[in-house]
Amino acid sequence: MDVFENRSEQEALDAYSQVVTGVADRLIPRVASIRVRRRVRGGEAEAGGSAVVLTADGHLLTNAHVVDGATSGTAEFASGVTVRVHVVGSDPLSDLAVLRAEGEVPDPPEFGSAERLRVGTLVVAVGNPLGLAGSVTAGVVSALGRSLPTRSGTASRIVEDVIQTDAALNPGSSGGALADARARVVGINTAVAGIGVGLAVPVNATSWRIIEALRTDGRVRRAYLGLVTTPAPLPPRFADATGQRTALRVVEVVTGSPAERAGLRRGDLLLAVDGQPLRDAQSLQRLLFAEAVGRRTELTAVRGEALVDVVAVPAPLEG
């Protein structure tokens, strides 16, 4: 019996190793080490991170904080090829940035969707932590729907639906790829939140909209309500009446914001915007792009034992 158990364990380990090796083989050539000179108070400083090939014509995807204060730098690939890169667009409020290489780059990897991830899914992180090129770590999705506070100028925002993983991340991992077992990039590694806790910006419909705006326009125009929210269950009475099990609890209303002027309060449970249900954080964020600026927007909320409708007029978000 022990022989069969040991054989089964070895087969499981071999299968795990094959998955990680396969992901590494496909992604290491497509994740570059980034070096930039950024403007800091009193002069310049060198900084580094990672970037993933985005398009065959030379675009790379990284974190905004990796290139903060920089306009250009270099990208070095595992092949030893080094190319100059320029910052095309950077969006600190999603912690995403797009670069353009002056020379040829490898073909891009396949991109997947973070929306298909589940807690416990195997993921592999590829990057260049601590200056160690082509580093690979593996783990699982520890949690989904985490929030990561970010700031740009005077504006603050929560990057919603962040992926939490126990795959080891270190300084320099930022901007690297988080991939699933089929080597599809499902996140961009962005932060180390503590011992054994790494975070990645998800690759999903909202992030693709941001990436395309950065690639084509160099910036992202957003609407601003002035809310910080978190998913929360609806009280049974309202869940039964609406068929909706979750909503967004307002945990902060920014002073002087459109949300405050509309009368929203901390503790309100947002059910819908213009009749569209709000079941998770991303469902609100995807509505707050440029076309929402200046448009009367009806928000439905549960406040205590009552349903409340308010009208807000989103303002342009100044970053």
Residues labelled catalytic: 65, 95, 174
Tally the C-alpha atoms within 13 A of residue 161's C-alpha that lie toward its C-beta: 24
In one letter, which amino acid is 219?
Answer: R
What the block records as the tokens of 215 is 């690639």
What the block records as the tokens of 296 is 């009367």
Q: Which residues contact 81 (CB under 8 A, 6 or more apart)?
A: 103, 104
* C-alpha–C-alpha distance, residues 46 and 211, integer Å: 25
In 3D, which of 107, 119, 109, 115 has the Cα closest to residue 179?
109
What the block records as the tokens of 312 is 């807000």
Tell me if 200 sits within 8 A of 187, measured CB to CB. Answer: yes
Rg over alpha carbons for the chain, rounded to the nearest Å, is 21
Query: Which residue has tokens 């904080």?
Result: 65
